[in-house]
């Protein structure tokens, strides 16, 4: 890996055997250490590669807090313009390397994204995010029933998506809803006072307590 530019995890075989927390940490690291063959101790090296993973599972992003570390690329044979065997000639490869080297040496590149580009990327990632029935129900309600709401009480959400369930007694389900509202849709916990009564629930991003 130390001499590679791209490390391929075919069918995500390697990363599937580790927890997502371990994977996130490894992807984020700028340095890593390992012991060379016959070495007496581990050495630290700069990580000069990116991790590429292939999978047939379209909805493979399952952690709402870690998907920003991944850039999904959906292949489409119907839109293929060139053949990797026929068209990837040594001359073309040298040309790509030459252009990349020129950009690098002249510092003529940037990884910074505009707010519009970041928004497009976030929407693109959502295409590959795994969702369950509960998350789909909340998404539908937010889009169709609560589009003009900036505050939702826990009771309102419960009656709509899990009628008959007391969230105060079902902490697991309550935590699931909180995770979806906060990490998927960007709401945050808060409260509102109406008619002298305080309701706890979720505030839409950008709104304050009233």
Asked whether residue 95 carries a pLDDT value surpassing 90, the answer given is: yes
> Mean of the pLDDT values across residues 147-160?
92
Q: How many CB atoms lie within 10 A of CB 138?
A: 23
172-188 tens-digit pLDDT: 999 999 988 998 888 99
Q: What is the per-residue pLDDT for 202? A: 94
Q: What is the per-residue pLDDT for 52? A: 92
Asked whether residue 164 carries a pLDDT value surpassing 60, the answer given is: yes
* Whole-angstrom distance, CA of residue 138 vs CA of residue 167: 15
Q: What is the per-residue pLDDT for 116? A: 93
Sole residue written with tokens 């995500």: 12
> Mean of the pLDDT values across residues 49-58?
89
Asked whether residue 126 carries a pLDDT value surpassing 90, the answer given is: no
Cα distances from 176 to residues 56, 133, 135, in angstroms, run: 27, 12, 9
> Mean of the pLDDT values across residues 201-210?
74
Cα distances from 36 to residues 5, 29, 43, 85, 89, in angstroms, run: 19, 19, 8, 35, 35
**What tokens were used for 167?**
């969230």
Q: Where are the domains positioned within the chain?
A: 1-63, 71-130, 133-204
Sole residue written with tokens 């008959």: 164
């Amino acid at each position: 890996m130390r001499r590679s530019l791209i490390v391929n995890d075919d069918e995500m075989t390697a990363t599937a055997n580790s927890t997502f927390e371990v994977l996130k940490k490894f992807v984020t690291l700028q340095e890593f250490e390992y012991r060379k063959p016959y070495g007496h101790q581990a050495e630290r090296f700069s990580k000069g590669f990116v991790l590429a993973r292939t999978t047939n599972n379209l909805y493979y992003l399952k952690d709402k807090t870690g998907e920003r570390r991944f850039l999904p690329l959906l292949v489409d044979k119907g839109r293929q313009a060139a053949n990797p065997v026929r068209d990837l000639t040594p001359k073309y490869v040298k040309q790509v390397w030459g252009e990349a080297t020129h950009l690098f040496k002249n510092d003529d590149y940037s990884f910074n994204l505009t707010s519009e580009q970041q928004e497009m990327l976030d929407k693109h990632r959502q295409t590959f995010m795994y969702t369950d029935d509960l998350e789909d129900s909340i998404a539908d309600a937010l889009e169709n029933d609560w589009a003009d709401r900036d505050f939702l009480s826990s009771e309102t959400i419960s009656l709509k998506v899990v009628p008959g369930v007391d969230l105060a007694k079902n902490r697991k389900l309550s935590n699931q809803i909180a995770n979806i509202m906060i990490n998927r849709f960007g709401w945050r916990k808060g409260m509102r006072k109406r008619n002298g009564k305080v309701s706890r629930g979720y505030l839409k991003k950008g709104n304050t307590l009233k």
